[in-house]
Amino acid sequence: MDSDPTDGSAAVDPGNTGDPGIDQLFRILTAGPAQDELAGERGALAMFRANVSPVAGPAPVNGTPVSGTTVPFQAGGRATAPKRPVRHPIRMPVRWGVRLAAAVVIAIGGALAGAAYEAALPAPVQDLAHQVLGFAGVPKAQPQHHGRSPRAGGHHAAAAPGRSSTPPGGRAHPSQTAKPGASASRAASPTASPSSASTTGPAVLSESAGSAIIPAGSQPVINGQLTTAGTGVDGVTVTLIERLAGRPLWHVVGTGQTTSGGNVAITGPPLATNAAFRLRLPGGVHSASVLVTVTPQVTVVLTPGASSVRDLLTVATQYARRGNVVWLQVQSASGSWVDLRSKRLNAAGKTWFILSGKRLKNETVQVVLVATVRHGSATSNPETVPPPA
């Protein structure tokens, strides 16, 4: 039916969009099949008719239906043939026809874009896509080969220029990821032999104190050994560093050289407080810390009073500090020491206790300095309390 220009509508003609490339694409897509595409057509139609179409009955003879057929009747007994539906062409505005044609082109383009880039379209469509989209890298149609397709065979298809042949999310074949010369370099790189591994290794520096507890004012001796893979290292200079109790920093207090067995002994300066020591090698390698504790000297002097009723026990210390605590102890019959009372040292490091000759007659007493962060505990000399006169 022709369009009526007076009502603003027109029949849709998707084959005439005004774009030669798109018009040619529609003609190829709506054209009849090629000869090689019609192989087996008759057999397929026969099978479809045998399984889908109903079996037609015999034709009526002289207007009388044959047994097994039915003919619809009108009221009054007159037979009538079934009416066929009347089809009318769909009419739509011209602007909607253009939009529909554009939508069809976009849908076809979106669906066929990937196939065009993979050269998987039929030869005429692929050639047309190459003409229209060749600037975007769409290739020409590839000649058809009989037999197995390269995609289904054991050979990998060549990747398009500028695109990776590894599928998204997949793992590349080892031959694709290996760099030229990588295998040769790995084969040429030497490996460490067992003999070289047994004679080389990291240096190990051990440390110990000659005595962990020393009298305050004496010098500590720090022993060390330097080995590599269990063998002593000779002739290496080792440095002794010290950190005094209550101090944040380390400082150098001595050096020594290892002997043939890797041994070294370094004597530090006199200690008035507890201290930590380390041995250090050139380059900053050092041993673990070892702690040396000092014990201040504590002495007591017993001075009997009048008639030995009230005796004076004087306490003096060296290297102890003001405020340190001392305890007066008495020895029991079993030999153990029992605390009696305590006092604090004054600024001179001294204090005193008053003893009762009647209560402690013939008892042995002593004074014990309580340990602090700066020093360990220390015990005075014993004294025997005389009986009253």
Say yes or no: 275 and 301 in one domain.
Answer: no
Please indicate, yes or no, if residue 215 is contained in any of the structural domains. Answer: yes
**What is the predicted pLDDT for the residue at 305?**
87
pTM more than 0.75: no
Please indicate, yes or no, if residue 57 is contained in any of the structural domains. Answer: no
Taking residues 311-329, report their average pLDDT: 96
Please indicate, yes or no, if residue 352 is contained in any of the structural domains. Answer: yes
Domain that holds residue 218: 203-294
Taking residues 36-40, report their average pLDDT: 66
Say yes or no: 208 and 290 in one domain.
Answer: yes
pLDDT top residue among 286 and 352: 352
Distance (Å, whole) CA 239 – CA 219: 16
Please indicate, yes or no, if residue 58 is contained in any of the structural domains. Answer: no
Domain edge (last residue) among 89, 119, 138: 138
Q: What are 138-179's pLDDT values in tens digits?
A: 677 766 554 444 444 444 444 444 444 444 444 444 444 444
Distance (Å, whole) CA 295 – CA 324: 13
Say yes or no: 338 and 279 in one domain.
Answer: no
Please indicate, yes or no, if residue 313 is contained in any of the structural domains. Answer: yes
Say yes or no: 239 and 306 in one domain.
Answer: no
Contact 379, 297 (CB under 8 A): no
Taking residues 367-381, report their average pLDDT: 97
Domain edge (last residue) among 259, 294, 329: 294
Say yes or no: 284 and 308 in one domain.
Answer: no
Domain count, the chain: 3
Say yes or no: 215 and 287 in one domain.
Answer: yes
Distance (Å, whole) CA 273 – CA 318: 11
Please indicate, yes or no, if residue 346 is contained in any of the structural domains. Answer: yes
Percent of the chain that is helix, strand, coil (3-state, to 5)? 20, 30, 50
Please indicate, yes or no, if residue 52 is contained in any of the structural domains. Answer: no
> What proportion of the chain, given as a percentage, has pLDDT over 70?
53
Please indicate, yes or no, if residue 258 is contained in any of the structural domains. Answer: yes
Taking residues 36-47, report their average pLDDT: 70
Query: Which CATH number goes with the domain that contains 351?
Result: 2.60.40.10
pLDDT top residue among 195 and 281: 281
Say yes or no: 20 and 128 in one domain.
Answer: yes
Say yes or no: 130 and 21 in one domain.
Answer: yes
Say yes or no: 255 and 273 in one domain.
Answer: yes
Question: CA 190 → CA 63, 184, 194, 197, 385, distances in Å?
Answer: 105, 12, 13, 13, 83
